[in-house]
Amino acid sequence: MLNRDDNELLTQVGLGTPMGDLLRQYWMPAALSEELPKCDLPPLRVKLLGEKLLAFRDSTGQVGLVSEVCPHRGASLFFGRNEESGLRCVYHGWKFDVGGHCIDMPNEAPDCPLRKKVKLRAYPCSERNGVIWAYLGPREKPPALYDLEWNQQPDNIPFMWRNYRACNWVQAMEGDIDSSHINFLHRTLNFDDLSTVPGVPIPGYAATGVRMLQEAGIPRLEVQDTEAGVLHTAARNLGACGDYYSLE
C-alpha cells in the first residue's frame, strides 16, 4: 500500500506534475471520430490529463484540440461557433484555427498587431481508424503514432466506446488488468437493460462479450516479459468447442 505522498506522486497528472510530464511524452486517445462526424459542428468537451479542452472539426476536415477558455476575457469557447475553418468566441468574435492561431479579431482595427501575438493553447492531433489521438507533450515534432495492429487496419475497425470512470488512471489500469473480477462483480449486471442507463453507452456486442466472460469460468492468468513491458493474458475455456478466449 502506498503512502499518501507516493500515491499523489503516481496519480496526479496535471500540468507540471512529474507523472503529468511523463504521460505527456506519449500520444493520448482524446475522442472517437464518430463524436466529430462532420465539419463545422459544435465543439466537443474533452478532459485530458487534467486539462479542460475542446475538440472540433474545421471546414476542411482537420481536427483541433484547444483550450476551452478564450485568452481574451476567459469566456468558454464551448459556446463558440465553429465556422469557416475556425472556432469563434461568441463574446467578442475572436476566432482561432486548429493550431490555436488567432485568425480574426472583428472588434479590433484591421491593422491591430495584437492578433499576431495572441495564441490559444492547442495540441496536434492525428486521426486513424476511428480514433482521434492528441500529443500534449513539449516536443516541437511529436513522436510517430503507435503502430498498434488494430490501429493499422482501416478495413477492420474494432468496436470502441468512451465512458466515464470516477477514478484515477492507476485504478482504471488495475481494474482492466484484474480480469478475474468480471466473474463476480459484473455477474450482477443486467446487460439487457444497461444500454438504457444515461451515461453508459455500451454497445450490445460488448455486453455480449462481458456476459461470455462471466460464464466462462475462472481465467488462467499468464504474464510474459517483452521489450516494451509486460504482456498480461487472462485465458478462459469456452466450453464444448474446446477453444480459449484470451483477454490481453
Backbone angles phi, psi at 18, to 5 degrees: -55, -45
Give the model's pLDDT for residue 214: 65
Q: What is the pLDDT of residue 129?
A: 86
Same structural domain for residues 142 and 180? no
CATH number at residue 37: 2.102.10.10
Could you state, in chain order, the average pLDDT of each consecutive group of 10 residues for the chain (248 residues)?
A: 91 94 95 94 95 97 97 95 96 96 91 89 93 95 87 70 84 85 69 53 56 71 86 75 56
Predicted pLDDT at 20: 96
Q: Give the per-residue pLDDT at 151.
A: 77
Residue 126 lies in a domain: yes
Predicted pLDDT of residue 94 = 95
Position 221 scores a pLDDT of 84
Indicate whether 131 and 218 sit together in one domain: no
User: What pLDDT, on a 0 to 100 scale, did the predictor assign at position 30?
Assistant: 95
**What domain range includes position 104?**
4-151
Q: Are 42 and 121 contained in the same domain?
A: yes
Q: Are residues 17 and 112 in the same domain?
A: yes
Residue 39's pLDDT is 97
Query: Does residue 157 lie in a domain region?
Result: no
Per-residue confidence (pLDDT) for residue 157, from 0 to 100: 63
For residue 109, what are the contacts with CB-CB under 8 A and spacing of at least 6? none
As for how many domains the chain has, the answer is: 2
